[in-house]
Structures are given as C-alpha cells and as structure tokens.
Structure 1
Amino acid sequence: MTNANTADAPAETFPFLTTLRLTLREIVPTDAASLLAIHGDREAMRWFGNDPIASLAEAEKMVQTFAGWRQPPVLGTRWAIERKQDRRLIGTCGLFRWNRNWKSCTVGYELARDAWGEGLMTEALVAALPWGFESMALNRIEAQVHPENAASLKLLRRLGFVEEGLQRQAGFWWGEHHDLVQLSLLRHEYSSGEQL
C-alpha cells in the first residue's frame, strides 16, 4: 500500500493505493462508460443493493456522487479498481457512511463479471481496509450482504469479518425487500495481523 493521505484531505489529494496487480485511484469523469458497463450489467448488480443503471448520464451522476464524498466534511472514499496489466477499470470499492463520533463506516464494492474469481477484490480490500483503520481512525468497519451472496460472504469472512445477525428486509431493490446479513471487522481484529 502506498500514498495513504489523511482522510479529511480534499479531492486533489486523493489517497491512491497500489497492490501487486491493482491501482486504487480516484474515480474520474472519463470512467463513466466503464461504470455503466459494470453497473448496467443486471447479473453483476444482482446483490449490489441498487437497481442497475441504464444510461451514461446515470453513470456520470455516480462519478459526481463519489467525488462528493471527498469534499469536506469527508463522508467516505470510493476507489476505482484499475488492473495494472491493461489499465482497465474493473470495479470500485469504498468506505462510506463515516460516523466520526462512533469511529465506524461501511464497506462496499463491486466487480465486473469477467474479473470474478481471480482474488482481485480481496487484493483491493486488503489495501483499503487498513487505510480506513489508519487514516480514518476507525474502530469498526461494517458490511451488509444479501444472504444468498455466497461469494461476498466468503470474501468478508476470509478478511476477518464476523457475522452479527440478520437485518430483516433492510434493503430494497428490484422492487423487493431483502434481508441482509450484518458483519463487522474491528480495529483490534485487524491489528492482530491474523486476518489481513
């Protein structure tokens, strides 16, 4: 992991992170078409928690929303996940809903279908989670996952997240209410070095 800047820094000092295969960078307007390809894919968005988008204008609005998170007071950070070998945006990940008083936030992520099964999201989160604990002074990172999203639950468990219970009909997308599994990772669990 490199170049972890302070969490309250404005957008021009975005916290770029790197891993062996990935660059985690700022999401910029030229990413809109790539975001549309991912977020417009109904299967890729099956468990994301929002309806798929259908237009470039919606993707451009998404770019603006993520950029807005970085404006003071910073609400969170969303990274474009770019594969180094071809500089292609293959997904995003982020820490959001930052509650400074409680020292907590939520993690979210998505990946293009043709990048599934390669361990790339694990690699991205292994960079992003420590940045959150260190730069945002977090004690707790939460996740909410659909009970049938086996791949995401497996990923989070591998990273050390602990299941806390079921949030009944906590989500709503595709015109239906959905139960969500609540998970969390605490600072002292991350600091133990056993998970990440």
Structure 2
Amino acid sequence: MFTDKFIGTLRYHVCKIGGARSTLENLEVYNNAPDSFFINIVVKGSDGLISTSYTLTVKDILDFPITSQTLLTTERLEISLLLPGSEPKIIEFLRDPDVLKMRGMGYSPIENIHSIYQNHHDSVYWDKYYFVVRIRKSSEPIGFIGFYQLERPDLITPVISQAPYESVKLSYALSKTYWGQGIMSEALAVCVPWFVKGQNVRELVGFVEVNNYASRRMMQKLGLQDYGLLEDSMSKADLKNTYRFVVYKKSILVN
C-alpha cells in the first residue's frame, strides 16, 4: 500500500500542476533519509512544459487518501479502486491485439490519480475514476471500468452536445481469458447504477467498436440507446486499421 500511496501522491501533484490531462515528461526522486524524498518533475500541460521541485515526507505519503477496500461485490466478482499495484496486469492484457481492437485505445496510468472514491455534488469537479474488477476467489485483476467526463462533447457528436450538462463516458476492458462468461456484464450491472447515483451523473455515453456485438448488447442492457456511428470517428488502435464506433447515450432523470 505504501507504493500505491507514493505513486498516488506523485500523480496527484502532476494533475495539480498541469491539469487533469497533463503528462509527466521527467521524474527524479532522491531519498532524504530518514523520512522524506526530494522530487524533481517536468510536467507537460496545456500551457507547455512546467518544471518544479518539492519535498515529500513519509507522513504525506501515508496520509494520502486512497483505499484498497472492496467497494462492490457480486457472486463472482469484487470491485475496488484501480491502484498502481494492479496496473501491470491491466497493461499486460491490453497488449493483446484482439482486446485492443475491441477497446480502440490503451490505458494511460498517469491519468489515474487514485484519489479516494467519494460522492460529489454537482458543484465539485471530478475528472476520472478507474475501478479494477477481480475474481473473488483469487483476487486476480482481470478487467477495469472507467468513468470520465468528456471535456468537449460538442466536438464529438451533436447527439451528445444537445445536453445542457457534461456527459460522462463509460469505458471498460476485460482480459480475453474471461471473454464469453458474462463477467463484464455482471460487473457493469452493479457498478454503473452505483456510480451514476453517487456522482449525480445526468448523461452516460459509451462508444463501442462497430463489430463488438457483445459490448453493444451490454450497452443496451444498461439502458443506453444506439445513436449510430460516431461522426468523424478516427480511433486508431494501430497504423493498419481504423475502427469506427457506435454512440450509445442514456439520459438520467434526477429527482
């Protein structure tokens, strides 16, 4: 857990300096015995490169608010925050060409800030949450579910931009070893309603590769409607193929 917290503090600092969509260009960590680290980082944000240095104490790391506790369970699965310790497994199965083709994009660890999950009111901005899906019997990470707010939905499709509030994109991936067993359907059936209610999500959007019929059926089971091919969709998973995506949208009435 110390490693998870340490990486979480670094990513949080990157986000704080350069914004939610910034990237880490360089990192140097020096151990200041006995209880602190000296950090040099270079972050690329919307305003260009930003270089900064700071001291991070062991107390800062231990106090960083993340948790590995299980948030949701089903008959076969448990769902919790996706922490750095589980990311190598996620990155490994995403290297499978079949998985990448159906997903259309990889996984960027730096975007996962790992702040503690909490319910937010409409006035509090959040950017992304990632959750890991595990088999209960072995606690093995086999997939993940992500939710993140679309920064400019009007650039994607007029269908989405009709909403007077920000759309939240649903994203997920599952190891090919577990395809065809209803695993992701089981996970989404509990995770999506729970997240939508907790975060006051008013519109949920999903993009599915046009030939991924299993995923399209899952979207329909969740109550998302098919709005046809994504306009000007050019999601390139590799240089040889360009994949088209179908837009699914569900508007949620808030009492």
Letter in 1 for 2:172: Y
For the pair shown, which has the larger CA radius of gyration, 1 or 2?
Answer: 2
Please give the alpha-carbon distance, in whole angstroms, between the structure 2 residues aligned to 1:120 and 1:131: 17
Please give the alpha-carbon distance, in whole angstroms, between the structure 2 residues aligned to 1:68 and 1:98: 19
Q: Is the 8 A contact 1:69 1:75 kept in 2?
A: no
Give the C-alpha shift of residue 79 in structure 1: 0.4
Structure 1 residues 179 and 69: alpha-carbon distance in aligned structure 2, compared to 1, 3 A threshold: farther
Higher relative contact order (CA 8 A, sep 6+): 1
Aligned to 2:167: 104
Aligned to 2:127: 75
Structure 1, residues 69-122: CA drift from partner, whole Å, max 9, x if none? 7798421211010110111100101111267x7153010000001111111111
TM-score by length of 2: 0.59
Q: Unmatched 5+ residue regions in structure 1? A: 1-9, 52-58, 192-196
Q: 2:140 aligns with which of 85, 88, 91?
A: 88
Question: In the alignment, does 2:94 pair up with 1:26?
Answer: no
Sequence identity, in percent? 19
Q: Is the 8 A contact 2:149 2:166 kept in 1?
A: no
SS in structure 2 at match of 1:172: coil
Please give the alpha-carbon distance, in whole angstroms, between the structure 2 residues aligned to 1:140 and 1:36: 29
Structure 1 segment 28-67 matched on structure 2, within 5 A? 28-50=83-105, 62-67=108-113
Give the C-alpha shift of residue 68 in structure 1: 5.7
Aligned to 2:249: 184
Coordinate RMSD, CA, aligned: 2.9
Aligned to 1:3: none
Please give the alpha-carbon distance, in whole angstroms, between the structure 2 residues aligned to 1:13 and 1:141: 26
Please give the alpha-carbon distance, in whole angstroms, between the structure 1 residues aligned to 2:247 and 2:207: 5
Structure 1, residues 107-149: CA drift from partner, whole Å, max 9, x if none? 0000001111111111111122112321111121100111111
Question: In the alignment, does 2:66 pair up with 1:12?
Answer: yes
TM-score by length of 1: 0.75
